[in-house]
Amino acid sequence: MEKVKWGIIGCGDVTEKKSGPAFNKVADSELVAVMRRNAAKAEDYAKRHNVPKWYSNAEELINDPDVNAVYIATPPLQHEQYALQAMAAGKPVYIEKPITLSAASAKRILQASEKYHQKASVAHYRRQQPVFLKVKELLEQKVIGDIRFVDLQMLQPPKSNLIANSEENWRVDPGISGGGLFHDLAPHQLDLMVYFFGAVKEASGLALNQGGFYEADDLVAGNILFENNVVFSGIWCFTTAESERKDLCTIVGSEGKISFPVFASEITITKNGKTETLPFEPLQHVQQPLIAKVVQYFLGKGPNPCSIQDAIYSMELMDAFTQKNGKI
């Protein structure tokens, strides 16, 4: 493979700006085909984004000889099926988050990757964004000393503009998404925690539906003890008042604290009674830095920026918090 020629399965809202255009902006990468079950919308996407081919059938895209890598951007319910089909056809895969419905399903994708000897990466794209690379650098430099604990609060009203738009609100259908809005947003947050703090020793939590707006849980609370003795506590509530809206992660160390929103682009450092704010320019295509790393990985020129195993860790935490598989 000298150039990664992508096919997208599921060219919906997420691919309009966050990811789709980036495939043509990254070196050694080209978007050559897209697929959506609605043929008219697949054709429309292809024409608007200057993509040569479009399909309404996933198998046809997977078997297109011009496609040598597949980006799976459907709702999570279809991730496992399409990932296995693409890898069986000899093509590496880049899979949207959450990787699938559960940790057990994610492990089957890992097994298929090993069986078919195909590379696979997951779209936990915040790992490569400048703001979070800076957080990781500050932690490694011990700017706030030894890390003691992390407090994360994700509080949103029932109608939140933080949630990606879709024609059908599949994100609150557990059969399609794996859970509710927690399953849509928490993969970003929990992946960053694993990225920052490493292996998990134990985790537990609880989940329930308080508002009754839909079937899925609308409140999740979770605790983690990392192997390095860092303690994490998180709360996700999607039925708060508008005035209580909050997206804040605070990392407390022995000499200060680092605070940042996960869904914005700034860092606040508090130390010795002084506060410093580091702003970052929003990215035009939020997945572009990670896609660049994935392309290099698929070409054999770099490591995997986010492996299936990395994604399994996040899924295991979500399963533990929502008590799908008990405690870790």
User: So where are the chain's domains?
Assistant: 4-126+286-307, 130-282
- Show the tokens assigned to 184: 């849509």
**Which CATH number does the domain 130-282 belong to among 3.30.30.60, 3.40.190.10, 3.30.360.10, 1.10.3680.10?**
3.30.360.10
- What are the percentages of helix, strand and coil residues in the chain, rounded to 5? 35, 25, 40
Residue 48, pLDDT > 60, answer yes
CA distance linking residue 271 with residue 241, whole number of Å: 32
pLDDT at 166: 54
Amino acid 318: pLDDT: 95
Q: Which CATH class is domain 4-126+286-307?
A: alpha beta
Tens digit of each residue's pLDDT (9 = 90 or more) over 204-256: 999 999 999 999 999 999 999 999 999 999 999 999 999 999 999 999 999 99
Strand order in the sheet with 257-260: 200-208, 219-226, 231-237, 147-155, 246-253, 257-260, 266-271, 274-279
Helix (H) or strand (E) holding 175: helix 174-177
Specify the range with the lowest mean pLDDT, choosing from 103-117, 165-179, 220-234.
165-179
Cα dist from 223 to 124, 230, 231, 238, 245, whole Å: 21, 11, 7, 18, 21
pLDDT at 1: 83
Q: What is the mean pLDDT of residues 107-117?
A: 97
For the cut 90, the answer to whether the pLDDT of residue 159 exceeds it is no
The whole-number average pLDDT for the span 6-28 is 96
pTM: 0.93
Name the band, by pLDDT with cuts 50, 70 and 90, for residue 164: low
| pLDDT at residue 89 tops 90 | yes
Residues near 12 by beta carbon (within 8 Å), at least 6 away in sequence: 36, 73, 74, 166
Residue 277 has pLDDT above 80, yes or no: yes
Biggest CA-to-CA distance, the chain: 61
